Structure 1
Amino acid sequence: MVATSNHFPSLSELTQVSARIGCLSFGGPAGQIALMHRELVEDRRWVDEDEYLRALNLCHLLPGPEAQQLATWIGWKLHGWKGGLIAGGLFVVPGALVMLALSMLYAVAADLQWFAGLFLGIKAAVLAIIVQALIRIGGRALKTTLQRCLAATAFVALFLFDAPFPLVMLAALALGALVAARRPGLLAVKPLEPTSEPLASAWPASVKAAVVWGAVWAAPMIAVLVLLGRDHVLWDIGVFFSQLAVVTFGGAYAVLAYMAQEAVSGFGWLSPGEMADGLGLAETTPGPLIMVTQFVGFLAAMRAPDPFGPILAGVLGAALTTWVTFAPCFMWIFVFAPWIDRMQRSPALQGGLAGVTAAVVGVIANLALWFMLHVLFAKLTSNEMGPLRWQAPDLASLDWRAALIALVSAALIFGLKWGIVRTLAVAAGLGLALHMTV
């Protein structure tokens, strides 16, 4: 495999740079993608600009964290599957180790007053961070009236009709593909000339990758089934997060509301406040934001540990969650990377992506509202009117401390243009001060 860049790195060079990126990849997918562009395209010129952008568009089409998949593709481009494993793995491992340590600390110290104060601030700051993500993504994604209507429809379907998240995303994908075939301008899809590049040789590699990585994905689940059975919490964890890995179109923010709904209300693994705590922890670690799934898996297994001890069960839950979340990411890249040019030029796929991207804005809006209700208010009431179902806050239960910290965090992010980590540090300190003195 020959790289088309000005310098072909050795496997050792790729490993060193990938480890550096993995340790510095704070700030969510936008910051991570910008970091890789600077390190690999601008500074080292290992990948051409056009190749990088085509690969990024492919990663947007695939389920899973696009930044991690982009890192995997770059490694694959430079050194085949070995390079893909190294670059993609090192993008995840630093954040996974930090998240595991923080999850263990959370489990031990969650009942301490000072710890509760810290997370009062972190949860409130997360509200401002999600609003920032909503504005950024909405500004890029909603270019036409139809896209804005798709975003509003997705929000209403989720918040007022309690529609299943996968159904909303599949509907947006199908509608986008249909519209692009007839009126691509309604979704701002620009037609591209079809490629004449022969791709018959890509079939064997794609089939082999699907078989091998399908087996890798399933291996720990087979072990759980044989050793513990279907009634064990690890089986539920593995099945749920495997399903999540297939429907995580649009990035982590898009799927968080669905995950929170199922983990909190469906399985009862953790409370809404703990879900917000986990997102706050994930915002402070390098690597993909979807690493919050590891926090959920840790708490779920720790609270139903038999036949293990609580901490060991939590570590197993976290490891299984991470495995079934990221093994599919490698599979998607190794299967579809040889087809990247053909896929990028498909009008149907471009339209489907545009539809999903628009719906993601509505999904994130639903997530923002869900977190706001659960962080700012101690009591919520469930309401139904025919097919409509929604939650309304008890205004008397407003936590003024959380509201104040959320406003301060918004001022820091939008007014002073502070970064996420710096804002979270100030919010955590303010939460600790208010909790201990009021």
Structure 2
Amino acid sequence: MRTTAAVTPSYSLGQLVRYMLKLGTFGFGGPVALVGYMHRDLVERRAWITDDDYREGLALAQMMPGPLAAQLGIYLGYVHYRVPGATAAGIAFVVPSFLMVVALGWAYVHFGGLPWMQAVFYGVAAGVVGIIAISAYKLVNKTLKTDKLLWAIFLLLAVVTIVTESEIAWLFIAGGFVNMFYRAPPRWLGRGGVNALAAAHGPALGGLMSGIDVSLLTQIGLFFAKAGAFVFGSGLAIVPFLYGGVVTEHHWLNDKQFVDAVAVAMITPGPVVITVGFIGYLVAGLPGACVAALGTFLPCYLFTVLPAPYFKKYGRLPAVKAFVDGITAAAVGAITGSVIVIARRSIVDWPTALLALVTVLVLWRFKKLQEPMVVGAAALIGLVVYPLAHL
């Protein structure tokens, strides 16, 4: 069984780290663009990575929970330099955008009350609703197609997210199992009593843990580790999950602060999931930002490194693929539901409603337009419109 390329690499680990630092600093355009840059630079131009290894890494990143681009970067570091390479590549890719959101968090805390900052986020929050809406539409078309069962899972999660204004994590797993049992029922299904019992009591155990009085940093670490384990389908999948925990359950942020946090993720390079650093900073300063980021990215790191040696053998099994398809449908449903939830908070008058609609139309018409440009335009509009709307 071949796991990764066994030939001597034509590049040093230092060269790969420098590339990932550069990509993490200037890599705008979202996960699809980022993985495209990696193929262009590392496979086509520099020939550091074979096309086979790249495709296997991309398939693993799509199958496992975690932000797509970050996981692919981790896997590409693993190809020739194993765990040290995966670790160094992952850190180099994430650190630049983490530092940016922490700096923005500091500015937000110190200047967030100023009229110009309020005006910026007045426009940006409405623009973000449009961005998430068009992203949800693209994900629906890409993942569901005409599959009736996946559509049913999608609709269920969308409705649950809208009604509860939160994301119920165990429903993701349930969606995966339902699709797996229907498409490719495993042979051990009849012997799954113990596993089913453990799964059924999982949520109850989570409720028990939530009643334990632990320090704030520990709470942050546990919550964001759970969040990081359920980022399926797109980095945006974490948005409804975070809203349910950060705003509804723990009351660490209010609605406006949360929407601003999502906006910050849109205007910075790197993975959308990096918004957790901004949220952590607002909740508990720099220690909170570090704990939130570590808690979120550690699961995706482990979900990449641990199965990497075995993925070629087991990753294409029908049962595994069906399970992932079900979870992905659930994630897309939650993202779609979160559009409604966030819109209720961000669209506060007719100018914000119009801005959100225009954002959708612009992104629909100009498909290659990068999101930071849209967010920047929304910020400028907010600076002009906010004072007029609040005379």
Task: Find the partner of 1:287 among 249, 262, 270.
Answer: 270
Question: Is the 2:102–2:289 Cα contact (8 Å) retained in structure 1?
Answer: yes
Aligned with 2:257 (options 274, 287, 292):
274
Deviates more, 1:49-58 or 1:67-76: 49-58
2:152 to 149, 153, 159: 149
SS in 1 for 2:377: helix
Q: What amino acid is the match of 1:401?
A: P
**Which residue of 2 is the match for residue 181 of structure 1?**
184
The answer on whether the counterparts of 2:225 and 2:298 sit within 8 Å (CA) in structure 1 is no
In the TM superposition, residue 334 of structure 1 has moved relative to its aligned partner by: 2.0
User: CA 1:244 to 1:182, structure 2 compared with 1: closer, same or farther past 3 Å?
Assistant: closer
Describe the shift of the 1:427–1:43 C-alpha distance in structure 2 as closer, same or farther (beyond 3 A): same
Give me the whole-angstrom Cα distance separating, in 2, the residues matched to 1:119 and 1:164: 25
CA drift of 1:350 comes to 0.5
Retained in 2: the 8 A contact 1:63–1:249?
Answer: yes
TM-score by length of 1: 0.78
- Determine the C-alpha separation between the residues in 2 that align with 1:2 and 1:149: 38
Partner Cα separation in structure 1 for residue 165 and residue 268 of structure 2: 31
Residue 381 of structure 2 corresponds to 430
1:274 Cα shift?
Answer: 1.0
CA apart distance, 1:358:
1.7
Deviates further, 341-350 or 103-112? 341-350
Tell me which amino acid in the other structure corresponds to 2:382.
G
For 2:243, the equivalent position in structure 1 comes to 260
Matched to 1:286, the amino acid is: P
Matches within 5 A, 1:137-286: 137-143=139-145, 144-160=147-163, 165-181=168-184, 230-286=213-269
CA contact (8 A) 2:28 2:270 kept: yes
8 Å Cα contact 1:22/1:94 also seen in 2: yes
Query: Aligned-pair distance for 1:433?
Result: 0.4
Aligned CA distance change for structure 1 residues 2 and 296 (closer, same or farther; 3 Å):
closer
Quote the residue 1:213 is aligned against.
none
Contact 2:53 2:79 in 1 (8 A): no
Q: Distance in 2 between matches of 1:336 and 1:59?
A: 11
Q: Tell me the CA shift for residue 431 of structure 1.
A: 0.4
Letter in 1 for 2:137: I
Q: CA deviation at 1:176?
A: 1.9
- Aligned partner of 2:289: which letter? A
SS of aligned partner of 1:57: helix
C-alpha displacement at 1:295, in angstroms? 1.5
TM-score (norm 2): 0.87
Q: How far did residue 281 of structure 1 move?
A: 0.5
Q: Distance in 2 between matches of 1:81 and 1:7?
A: 15
One-letter amino acid matched to 2:314:
M
Kindly provide the CA deviation profile for residues 8-64 of structure 1, in whole angstroms up to 9, marking residues without a partner as x: 212232122222221222222112111111111222222222322222221222222
The counterpart of 2:88, out of the listed 86, 89, 103, is 86
> How far is the alpha carbon of 1:161 from its aligned partner?
5.9
Structure 1 gaps of 5+ residues are 184-228, 302-313, 378-398
- Where does residue 214 of structure 1 map in the other structure? none
Contact 1:141 1:358 in 2 (8 A): yes
Match of residue 190 from structure 2: none
- For 1:405, the equivalent position in structure 2 comes to 355
Contact 2:166/2:244 (CA < 8 Å) preserved in 1? no
Return the alpha-carbon distance in structure 2 between the equivalents of residues 80 and 264 of structure 1: 39
Q: Please state how far the C-alpha of 1:405 moved relative to its aligned partner.
A: 1.9
Larger of the two Rg values belongs to structure: 1
Q: CA deviation at 1:105?
A: 0.5
Aligned equivalents of 1:238, 1:266: Cα separation in 2: 15
Q: Describe the SS at the equivalent of 1:259.
A: helix
| Equivalent position of 2:202 in the other structure | none
Distance 2:166 2:346 in 1: 23
Deviations 1:171-194 (A, max 9, x none): 1111121122159xxxxxxxxxxx
Partner amino acid, structure 1, of 2:250? F
Alpha carbons 1:180, 1:350 under 8 Å: kept = no
The SS at the match of 1:345 is coil
Indicate if the aligned counterparts of 1:8 and 1:78 stay in contact, CA closer than 8 A.
Answer: no
Which of 337, 355, 375 matches 1:366? 337
Contact 1:5 1:45 in 2 (8 A): no
Compared with structure 1, are the counterparts of its residues 430 and 51 closer, same or farther at alpha carbon in structure 2 (3 Å cutoff)?
same
Q: Which residue of 2 aligns with 1:12?
A: 14
What SS does the aligned partner of 1:64 have?
coil
What RMSD in Å do the two structures reach over aligned CA positions?
Answer: 2.1
The within-5 A match list for 1:45-64 is 45-64=47-66
1:162 Cα deviation after fit = 6.4
Deviation digits for residues 340-380 of structure 1 (CA, Å, limit 9, x no counterpart): 11221221110011111222221111111111111114xxx
For the residues of structure 1 that align with 2:313 and 2:79, how far apart are their CA atoms? Answer: 16
Change (3 A) 1:263 1:2: closer
Over 3 Å counting, the alpha-carbon distance change for 1:161 and 1:125 in structure 2 is closer
1:262 alignment partner AA: G
Aligned length: 360
Match of 2:192 in 1: none
Range with greater deviation from structure 2 (279-288 or 416-425): 416-425
* Residue deviations 1:49-80 (CA, integer Å, cap 9, x gap): 23222222212222221211110110110212
1:160 is paired with a residue of what secondary structure?
helix
User: How far did residue 96 of structure 1 move?
Assistant: 0.2
In the alignment, the residues of structure 1 paired with residue 245 and residue 342 of structure 2 have an alpha-carbon distance, to the nearest angstrom, of 14
Q: Shift of the alpha carbon at 1:267?
A: 0.9
Matched, 1:299 2:267: no
* Aligned residue in 1 for 2:370: 419
